[in-house]
């Protein structure tokens, strides 16, 4: 059975991380009115979401110009994720879409997906249909909101541990035992 959650449209949406580098928890959070949603995601999902959002938005800007003048987004315009919000579920799959009639970006977060979908080639996903299980969240947002989410997400991913120049592994704040020095 699927538990569907839909914020159409969101009042607020953000992504980011809480915790110290190396021990961070990544989240996507959204709200509509007094109702809030927090979903656990992986760092790689946030990185991919940010990249795909910027790509989608660039394509939309080229082929479907936005009527509203959009100021250059800054991180200060997007709230940071809240540590007080308890995550409802962990997203195993994310999917982006665009509602052309309403000019809204749609972000879907799936708690569980059948194995054939999880193991499918990404190029074939558009052709596959499936019945999701567990929680499903559909978040409708404006292009401006999603552009800010993409920027906030990219900044959160980049704010992690620095890479060692020798071994390219992340360095802990408490020190780094570089395998290249053995």
pLDDT tens by residue, 2-37: 678 999 999 999 999 999 888 899 999 999 999 999
pLDDT higher than 60, residue 106: yes
Name the more confident of 1 and 170: 170
Cis peptide before 17 (omega within 30 of 0): no
> Residues with Cβ < 8 Å from 114, sequence gap 6 or more?
130, 131, 133
SS3 category, 83:
coil
How far apart, in Å, are the Cα atoms of 178 and each of 52, 160, 161?
A: 33, 18, 14
Name the more confident of 136 and 2: 136
> pTM score, two decimals?
0.82
pLDDT higher than 50, residue 73: no
Identify the top-confidence range among 14-28, 78-92, 110-124.
Answer: 14-28
pLDDT higher than 80, residue 44: yes
Q: What does the pLDDT average to over 138-167? A: 91
CB atoms within 10 A of CB 53: 23
Burial class (CB in 10 A: 0-12, 13-18, 19+), 115: exposed
């Amino acid at each position: 059975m699927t538990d569907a959650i839909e914020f159409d449209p969101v009042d607020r949406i953000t992504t980011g991380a809480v915790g110290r580098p190396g021990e961070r928890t990544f989240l996507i959070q959204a709200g509509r009115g007094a109702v809030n949603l927090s979903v656990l995601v992986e760092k790689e999902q946030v990185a991919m979401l940010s990249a795909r959002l910027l790509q989608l938005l660039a394509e939309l800007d080229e082929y479907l110009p936005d009527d509203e003048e959009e100021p250059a987004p800054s991180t200060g315009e997007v709230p940071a994720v809240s540590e007080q919000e308890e995550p409802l579920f962990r997203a195993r799959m994310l999917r982006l879409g665009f509602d052309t009639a309403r000019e809204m970006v749609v972000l879907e977060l799936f708690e569980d997906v059948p194995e054939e979908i999880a193991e499918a080639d990404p190029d074939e996903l558009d052709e596959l249909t499936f019945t999701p299980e567990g929680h499903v969240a559909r978040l409708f947002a404006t292009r401006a909101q999603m552009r800010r989410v993409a920027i906030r997400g990219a900044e959160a991913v980049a704010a992690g541990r620095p890479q060692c120049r020798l071994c390219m592994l992340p360095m802990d704040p408490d020190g780094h035992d570089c395998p290249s020095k053995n």
